[in-house]
Structure formats: structure tokens, C-alpha cells
Amino acid sequence: MKKNEKKQVVMSGIRPTGILHLGSYFGALQNYVRMQEEYECYFMVADLHSLTTHPDTKSLRANVLDVISEYLACGLDPDKAALYCQSAVPETSELYLFLNTLAYKGELEKTTTFKDKARLQPQNVNAALLTYPTLMAADILLHRALYVPVGKDQEQHLEMARNFANRFNHRYGEIFPEPIAFNFGEALVKVPSLDGTGKMSKSENQNATLYLSDDDALIRKKVMKAKTDEGPKTPNAPKPDYIENIFQLLSLVSDKEVCQKFEADYNQCTIRYGELKKHLAEDMIRFITPIREKAKTIRDDENFMKGVLEKGADKARESAKKTMQLVREAIGIKYF
């Protein structure tokens, strides 16, 4: 990059409605840590979004601080990336309103996540749940971000953000780049759950998900319970999904030699799954323990946490203010 060239802007968010797990690490955080070196990064905790599904705010503060401390423990640096809360940037709500004038009821109602959530909480199909994608678009467009590191489940929301950006640009003038999903052009690492069904998850499937806050005994217990079978009966047999998953997890945290040894054992039908799982458990512990301990130390330092959030909010607001000035002028609500 040339010296005075502005860095591209990266923006992503996470709802504080569950706890971070191994999939969050390999699917997102690891990439964020790389991105903060190269891009102007905004990583946000979407506390306003969480109100659309979790109106009870008793555990909100704890959840927000947990996420931030785990982000920091995984290597995000408040001097490089802006780490902040959505609610600390009031400009978000202002842009949300403008974008809502460009979002149609019909398309919002058709959004997959809206339909799913409405089914789950029929007693609380609130207007902010319907306009969830507009709020997310506001988060992104507020920094005029180009790159949005998210998984497949957010692709529809991102497409809507592109549509809103386009409509705005078309109606009021070119202000926003069209944000796109971005992960260094690499496929996202798959982090399967331990029971052979689906992926690790923030809130479901808790016994088959390894959380960054799990203690050693719990990690051991979850790994040892992972589904296996009698072992292959013929050399070089294809692996059933649940066995493939264990190998996949091993490849994330264990040395190459260990993976190769168990591959060879499998292919020669000499594999002992108890031994494989013991290895996996110990390597998982070696991986997760330093993150858990670091997160706890950070989390316990309230002054430090406050400083991080203030610094992040300042950076995010500075960027938001600039955008909103352009937005207000483009719309024509600057009268003097």
C-alpha cells in the first residue's frame, strides 16, 4: 500500500447473546486479528440488536464484557482496531432511521432470520425485529465499510445492506461503497460440533460445543463423550462424518505428526478412539486454557475494560460523525 493511501475499512459485529466458542475463534476472531494489521477495523458488540430477541437485560452487561474480554484475549488490540458497543454510537440509530425509509416491509418480512425468529417468539414480533437488517446495514454503512467478515448465515443481511446502500446512493448521491463479505479470499474454517451434527454454536448444542470459557475438566468431559464407533474394518476406509469431524478438530489444535499418526492408525485399522480423544482433549486444553485465563485477567480489570470501550467508542463515533455529516448533507437536512 502506498503511504498516503487510505486503508480499506473492515466492519463486523457480534450479538452478546451467547458465549464464544472454538468456531467463533477459527471462523472469525483469528481472521479479525489478521485484519487489524492491514485494515481500518471496527469490531462491535451488537447490544441494540440483542434487545430485539432478549428484552430482559439482566445479563446484558456481563455478556458484553465477556465478549470484549475474549476478543482481547484472542489478540485483538484496542490500539489497532476499534472495539466498541453499538449503543455507544448514537449515530447508528440515526442512520437506521434514514435507511428504514429505504427498506420495504415486504422484503423485511421475507428475510429468513426474521421468519425464523418470529416463529420462535410469536408473542414478541416487534418492529425492531422486522428491521434487524436495516440496523445491521446502519452498523456497516456508518463507517462506509467495504469488507464485512461474516459467515454464510449473514449473507442475506449483507445483500440487503448492499441494496440499501444502492438505493441511498441512487436517491441522494454516492456516499456508500457496496459492502461485501470478506475473509482474505479463503474458505472459512469448518469447526464441527462434537456429536457429529452441524457446527459448534453460541447457544445450542452446548455439550457438543467447546466454549473459550470452558475449564479443563469440562473440555475433557465433552471431548471424551464425542461420538465414535468400533473403528474401521477394512484398510483405507472412508470415514463416517462424526469421525471425520474429530480429525478435523484435531487438525485445528494438534501438531501435524499427531494428525498423521492417527490418520495412519485409522487407515491400518489399528486406531484406538479412546487414545485419539485423549490427545484431542489435551491439545484442546493447551489451546483454550491460555485464552480463558487471559480473558479472565482482562475481565477482572474493570478500569482497563472501561478504557478499551471508551477508546473504541471514540474511534467509532469519530468515523460515524464524518459519515453522518455527508449523509445529512446528501439528504438535504442541513439548513444553514
Question: Crossing angle, helix 112-120 and helix 155-172, to 10 degrees?
Answer: 120
Binding of residue 150 to ligand TRP (CB under 6 A)? yes
CB-nearer residue toward ligand TRP: 15 or 222? 15
Contact stretch for ligand TRP (CB under 6 A) within 69-77, 135-143, 187-195, 204-212: 135-143
Rule CB under 6 A: which of 5-34 touch ligand TRP?
11-15
Determine the Cα–Cα distance for residues 103 and 288; give it in Å rounded to an integer.
Answer: 42
277 touches 245 (CB < 8 A): no
The residue whose grid cell reads 486503508 is 7
The owner of cell 451467547 is 18
The region of 148-156, 204-212, 226-234, 290-298 touching ligand TRP under the rule CB under 6 A is 148-156
The H-or-E segment that residue 180 falls in is strand 180-181
- CA distances in angstroms from 185 to 2, 101, 182, listed in the order given: 22, 34, 7
Q: How far is the CB of 132 from ligand TRP (least distance, A)?
A: 7
SS3 (DSSP) at 13: strand
Least separation in angstroms between CB 86 and ligand TRP:
7
Cβ-based neighbour number of residue 121 at 10 Å: 14
Whether 199 is a known active-site residue: answer: yes
For residues 60 and 184, the answer to whether their CB atoms sit within 8 Å is no
Which residue of the chain is nearest ligand TRP when measured via CB? 13
# of chain residues touching ligand TRP (CB under 6 A): 14
Distance CA 207, CA 223 (A): 9
C-beta closer to ligand TRP: residue 53 or 248: 53
| Burial bucket for residue 239 (CB in 10 Å: 0-12, 13-18, 19+) | middle
CA–CA separation, 304 vs 284, rounded Å?
Answer: 28
By C-beta, is 7 or 286 nearer to ligand TRP? 7
Candidate list 3, 7, 80, 199, residue with the active-site label: 199
CB of 59 to ligand TRP, least distance (A): 18
Q: Can 227 be counted among the known catalytic residues? A: no
Q: Among residues 46, 212, 281, 285, which is the contact residue for ligand TRP, using CB under 6 A?
A: 46
Q: How far apart are CA 201 and CA 216, in angstroms?
A: 19
Q: How far is the CB of 136 from ligand TRP (least distance, A)?
A: 4
Residue in this structure with the C-alpha cell 454516492, named with its chain if needed: 174
Could you say whether residue 298 binds ligand TRP (CB under 6 A)? no
Binding status of residue 316 toward ligand TRP by CB under 6 A = no
Site string for ligand TRP, 154-183 (x = CB under 6 A): x--x--------------------------
Question: With binding defined as CB under 6 A, does residue 74 bind ligand TRP?
Answer: no
- Catalytic residue check, 80: no
87-95, 146-154, 288-296, 309-317 -> range binding ligand TRP (CB under 6 A): 146-154
Tell me the three cell numbers of residue 147: 469488507
148 binds ligand TRP (CB under 6 A): yes
* Cβ-Cβ contacts under 8 Å for 39 (sequence gap 6 or more): 7, 8, 9, 10, 147
CA distance 91 to 102: 17
Cell of 25: 475463534
Instruction: Between 91 and 283, name the residue whose CB sits nearer to ligand TRP.
Output: 91
**What's the min distance (Å) between Cβ of 181 and ligand TRP?**
9
Could you say whether residue 139 binds ligand TRP (CB under 6 A)? Answer: yes
Catalytic site positions: 117, 199, 202
Contact residues: ligand TRP, CB under 6 A? 11-15, 46, 49, 136, 139-140, 148, 150, 154, 157
